[in-house]
Structure 1
């Protein structure tokens, strides 16, 4: 691979490893862009692997960088919880618009979000029983906090390894992002639609979401990273949102609606999730969630 790459650093956890991988794959030159002080540690890793002649670490925000040339490939691990938490994709799009050659490659190249309806009475019951049990155990009645606890549960996005047995409908791809085309304007409100059919007679308590990213590798075809609950758990796990009120469903009851992901207006890296959902012949209901510094 006699090409030149930019490794756009959106997370300090890789500490230069992506740049080293690029050299191992045959890259002629790698520009490792890292805004934080971890850039110093990146340089140590690069020197330890004797790759300093091919990797140049640039300790700047990608929006401030001036490269001496355009690159053939942009590699970045920008994915956050629910794919878009922390709004790191914006910087990757900026790098593509300014520094990728025409016909260049984005790695990953495609990102998709999947959703499925779930039942999870156990979690909801635990939230209630915890506060209802304090009088019996400690002699202090805290049952008045049950409504507040349920409000917290149903306003936040929960990051966890979710059991596949609790899915009550087949998953659907609700959003697909083409990294070679998406713009920063598109990322202001990322929208998708869903339509599920319930499996069996059960209770709808919310939705689980996860993502996949695909790498379009010329010599190996498409390679996919999946964070599905049916796959081995990853750092990203899955994201779960709960409804304010459960909905009873029968076999083949339709569950349809829309999902919108937007950066928080006050703190850009926080993620707001808006879901509108209609169950069977019922009315469409709106639900709002926030993913902030406390993903649980």
Structure 2
């Protein structure tokens, strides 16, 4: 499918004031950075030990201002630490759609990288930094707060690039670079695009070092959502308990629903599961977005079901776009160009790497259900019980994604939706 034309979500009539019932989703205790399906734990950027300064509560208060980056917390320490594990980096590098699209984007912008200074935010093993050096960068600052930076330095040395790639072990908020830079590159995207809150570090790097008119890769990002039907998943997790070796175990179903659908699920679905054209939740221009905009994102939506089916929840996925300074932002393209089989479920999708019809338009990496799978997959917020919808039935409401007060790298999800005169609320926390 293709998304709607522009990036505005439109304001629709509010039918959510009198909620018929409420689905509350509260995660249980459990450690930060629990294993997730793509093994990124709760982390981007790796394992932090003594290289990031710790601050007292009094210092935190003095450091916290609208214009200052957040101080390093115990949650950040755990977050960075989870990225020290080689398996996380192996999985990301083996995601060919991800890694090859980044390499192609670097080579596509070689004229803007050659002879220039680059910062790689959250460099991990250093592979993107090396791609930039191979593209002719004069100097690359590879920044990572994880202990994986130690290995990155060895990788750089083994490839004879120590004179070009400088590995800085620390947070981008804390390390010092004594020159302006021409290019920022980063693979900052988390589940549902914004989970993990690493984009804030890219913004910090931009505001600290990027020259006016400099290049940021990726340049734009768009988060989409759509209602889905997934009876196989529901049957596998819930209906199984109706008859277990001839025994009625339906008394387990309520607990099974809570365990299966309490938290957002990262999994792969297909275009056949999607009930409607997707809508945009958030469009990001990496050159202009401010950190404060990431605190909370709210969008209203209005879908029309293309079929009669049980609606089991909402799916979220994203695109990122690699455009240079002269390229038109995604929001200025047509509806077909916006989706181009990437962000949505277009039957004619050509894969994750998308070149728009205009040769000057950008390369796009998609995590759409119709695109070849990536390690991001899709994120599904399931209802505890399905809602039956008819063909052409309207499904409308709002979604709010906000940083958790408990830990800014967690994400609170508040969904309001109504259909056929019934209104619902679903709340969950992505940990």
TM-score where L is the length of structure 1: 0.90
Find the aligned partners of 2:254 and 2:405 in 1 and give their Cα distance: 28
Instruction: Please list, as runs of the form range in 1=range in 2, the aligned pairs for 1:71-90 lying within 5 A after superposition.
Output: 71-90=181-200
Q: Which residue of 2 aligns with 1:275?
A: 415
- Residue 225 in structure 1 maps to residue 332 in structure 2: no
Q: Which residue of 2 aligns with 1:3?
A: 116
CA contact (8 A) 1:7 1:19 kept: yes
Q: Which residue of 1 aligns with 2:160?
A: 50
Deviation of residue 175 (structure 1)? 1.4
- Residue 127 in structure 1 maps to residue 237 in structure 2: yes
Q: Which residue of 2 aligns with 1:246?
A: 386
Q: Which residue of 1 aligns with 2:311?
A: 204
Find the aligned partners of 1:195 and 1:262 in 2 and give their Cα distance: 21
Deviation of residue 142 (structure 1)? 4.9
- Identify the structure with bigger relative contact order (alpha carbons < 8 Å, sequence gap 6+): 2
- Three-state SS of the structure 2 residue aligned to 1:47 is helix
Q: Which residue of 2 aligns with 1:91?
A: 201
Aligned length in residues:
285
Q: Which residue of 2 aligns with 1:172?
A: 279
Find the aligned partners of 1:106 and 1:174 in 2 and give their Cα distance: 22
Q: Which residue of 2 aligns with 1:16?
A: 126
Deviation of residue 254 (structure 1)? 1.0
Find the aligned partners of 1:94 and 1:283 in 2 and give their Cα distance: 44
TM-score where L is the length of structure 2: 0.63
Gaps of 5+ in 1: none
Q: Cα RMSD over matched residues?
A: 1.8
CA contact (8 A) 1:155 1:288 kept: no
Deviation of residue 121 (structure 1)? 2.3
Superposition misfits of 4+ residues, deviation over 4 angstroms = none
CA contact (8 A) 1:217 1:223 kept: no
After superposition, give the CA deviation of every residue in 1:146-167 in whole Å (9 maximum; x if it has no partner).
Answer: 1122123333111111122111
- Residue 118 in structure 1 maps to residue 211 in structure 2: no
Q: Which residue of 1 aligns with 2:429?
A: 290
- Three-state SS of the structure 2 residue aligned to 1:165 is helix
Q: Which residue of 2 aligns with 1:261?
A: 401
CA contact (8 A) 2:190 2:376 kept: yes
Find the aligned partners of 2:414 and 2:134 in 1 and give their Cα distance: 42
After superposition, give the CA deviation of every residue in 1:124-143 in whole Å (9 maximum; x if it has no partner).
Answer: 22222333444736xxx754
After superposition, give the CA deviation of every residue in 1:258-290 in whole Å (9 maximum; x if it has no partner).
Answer: 11111222122222211111214x244221122
Select the structure that is richer in strand: 1
After superposition, give the CA deviation of every residue in 1:54-81 in whole Å (9 maximum; x if it has no partner).
Answer: 1111011111011111111110001111
